[in-house]
């Protein structure tokens, strides 16, 4: 069964600095997608970024980028120039069959 592990329950970063959230997963599949979702306080979950496993190039969306290491089954999220609005729970997710398997999440605090 696919598993997703986020080893950092909480992280904090100073505004304008960079922070990296970690995620590891386990799968026997060779072709798949990985996702990072963001859940702001009392607001709905939204997609931050998606990575296709067969692509060597790491995905980037504005200030958000991933460091995808397929052999190590690692999928970390880097947030550059952190903003107060980045404060949220961040979930790494991996498709397990036709459902998403989520990590436990990392609570990111952005300090002004």
Partner 1 sequence: KAGVTQTPRYLIKTRGQQVTLSCSPISGHRSVSWYQQTPGQGLQFLFEYFSETQRNKGNFPGRFSGRQFSNSRSEMNVSTLELGDSALYLCASSFVRSGANVLTFGAGSRLTVL
Beta carbon of residue 26, minimum distance to partner 1 (angstroms, whole number):
15
Beta carbon of residue 105, minimum distance to partner 1 (angstroms, whole number):
6
12 close to 108: Cβ distance less than 8 angstroms: yes
Gyration radius from the chain CA atoms: 13
Beta carbon of residue 13, minimum distance to partner 1 (angstroms, whole number):
22
Beta carbon of residue 73, minimum distance to partner 1 (angstroms, whole number):
16
Q: Residue 103: how many CA atoms within 13 Å on its side-chain side?
A: 29
35 close to 53: Cβ distance less than 8 angstroms: no
- Rounded distance between C-alpha atoms, residue 86 and residue 71, angstroms: 29
Query: Contact residues for partner 1 (CB under 8 A)?
Result: 32-33, 35, 37, 43-47, 50, 52, 91, 95, 97-105
Q: Which is nearer to partner 1, 38 or 82 (CB)?
A: 38
**Residue among 72, 62, 85 at smallest CA distance from 34:** 72
Q: Which is nearer to partner 1, 19 or 36 (CB)?
A: 36
Q: Which is nearer to partner 1, 50 or 70 (CB)?
A: 50
């Amino acid at each position: 069964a696919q598993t997703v592990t986020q080893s950092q329950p909480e992280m904090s970063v100073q505004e304008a600095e960079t922070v990296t959230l970690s995620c590891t997963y386990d799968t026997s599949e060779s072709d798949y997608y990985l996702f990072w979702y963001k859940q702001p306080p009392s607001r709905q979950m939204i997609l931050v970024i998606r990575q296709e496993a067969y692509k060597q190039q790491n995905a980037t969306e504005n200030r958000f980028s991933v460091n995808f290491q397929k052999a190590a089954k690692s999928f970390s999220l880097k947030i550059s120039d952190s903003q107060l609005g980045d404060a949220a729970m961040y979930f790494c997710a991996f498709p397990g069959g036709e459902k998403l398997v989520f990590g436990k999440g990392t609570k990111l605090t952005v300090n002004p």
